[in-house]
Amino acid sequence: MAQASPDLMAQHRMTQRPRILVIKHGALGDFVLATGPFKAIRAQHPQAHITLLTTTPFAGLGEASGLFDAIWIDDKPKAWAVPRWLALRRRLRLGGFIRVYDLQTSARSSSYFRLFRTPRPEWSGIAAGCSHPHANPQRDTMHTIERQAEQLAGADIEIVPLPDVSWLDAPLDQFSLPPRFVLMVPGGAAHRLEKRWPASAYAKLAATLAAQNLVPVLLGNSAEDDVLAQIGEACSEARNLCGQTGFAEIAALARCADGAVGNDTGPMHLIAAAACPSLVLFSAASNPDITAPRGPDVGILHEARLDALSVSRVHGALRLR
């Protein structure tokens, strides 16, 4: 007897449970803001097999959430990489998906709608011709939380919780933390320096906090080493954890910290979602009405130029437990 092809066998297995695809590539702040929608989608489809299509940096977060049955990596092929596009099309078509929630809603993710055969799966997003379009012409002026909640309401998901990273944790013994400390996130994208409060200002704030027996704990990656080193040199009490913290460690630190202050950058979304009292500094380069971190205790200072933001004003606005 002839053996069924691997593709046919895979398709047969996929018919056993409804198949759902969620698309969310990143970046970190956007991914954290999408954790509420992820939870809502799982609640709406408790028996479904749900696949997350994401990028490599966020695959671990998706897996750790426990909300997905499979994680697929999208290497986001260039337009000219025809074999990779064909491979992506084949994978999507063989996925057996009955519904797709496009939470990225970019031109790229919307283009994936056309990769499916007709009849295409139900699709929540902004792809032309999709079954559940988010057609609000003001969607781009809405905060991500409200925008995605409205999008999902159009796909019959009425309750969307706030960002939730309660599942993200890590041991902290290796850091030998002081009893009281404040997290500082003074970095950010190297090509968006206008989104950074000056390192000299963070250094002065660090010294002020240290005088209050609140140890500044500096977070950042290797690309921000110079900024963190400058603060550490100016404030000997500061603890520099540059390059020592992944997403899980940041969330765990946030749960123990007295508070946090930082620029408009991804780790502040994690910290705020982990329920740490947070103060986030915004320049004219971004709009907190659209992109601000959300959590139970988040404050915003918005100044056109961050170098005009005084240390005393930031210190006075700090939110502490």
Cα(299)–Cα(218) distance, integer angstroms: 19
Residue 179, in any domain of the structure: yes
Which two structure tokens, joined as six digits, stand for 311?
A: 């240390």
Nearest to residue 231, comparing CAs of 208, 213, 252?
208
Q: How many domains does the chain have?
A: 2
> Which of 102, 122, 153 lies at the terminal end of a domain, its last residue?
153
Residue 38, in any domain of the structure: yes
Residue 166, in any domain of the structure: no
Q: 134 to each of 43, 129, 142, 154, 192, how far by Cα in Å?
A: 20, 11, 12, 7, 30
Residue 281, in any domain of the structure: yes
> Which of 153, 187, 204 lies at the terminal end of a domain, its last residue?
153
Task: Specify the residue for token string 């499979």.
Answer: 70
Which two structure tokens, joined as six digits, stand for 196?
A: 């950074």
Residues 147 and 191 in one domain: no
What is the model's pLDDT at position 15? 54
DSSP 143-158: -HHHHHHHHHHTTT--
pLDDT band at residue 2 under the 50/70/90 scheme: very low
% residues pLDDT > 90 (the chain): 93
Residue 158, in any domain of the structure: no
Residues 24 and 113 in one domain: yes
Residue 306, in any domain of the structure: yes
pLDDT per position as a tens digit, 116-158: 999 999 999 999 999 999 999 999 999 999 999 999 999 999 9
- Sign of torsion, CA 199 163 144 99? positive
Residues 180 and 145 in one domain: no
Cα(68)–Cα(279) distance, integer angstroms: 32
Cα(40)–Cα(46) distance, integer angstroms: 10
> Which of 153, 185, 219 lies at the terminal end of a domain, its last residue?
153
Residues 179 and 269 in one domain: yes
Residues 143 and 211 in one domain: no
Cα(288)–Cα(269) distance, integer angstroms: 12
Residue 167, in any domain of the structure: no
Cα(228)–Cα(218) distance, integer angstroms: 7
pTM for the structure as a whole: 0.92
Residues 242 and 133 in one domain: no
Residue 197, in any domain of the structure: yes
Residues 12 and 146 in one domain: yes
Say if residue 188's pLDDT is above 70. yes
Domain that holds residue 309: 174-317
Which helix (H) or strand (E) element contains residue 289?
helix 288-291
CATH of the domain at 23: 3.40.50.2000
pLDDT band at residue 160 under the 50/70/90 scheme: very high
Find the mean pLDDT for residues 87-113.
98
What is the model's pLDDT at position 112? 98
DSSP 99-144: EEEESS-SHHHHHGGGGSPSSPPEEEES-TT-SEE---TTGGGS-H
| Whole-number CA gyration radius for the chain | 22
What is the model's pLDDT at position 56? 98
Q: What region, left, alpha or beta, does residue 265 occupy, with left being phi > 0 and alpha being psi -120 to 50 degrees? A: beta
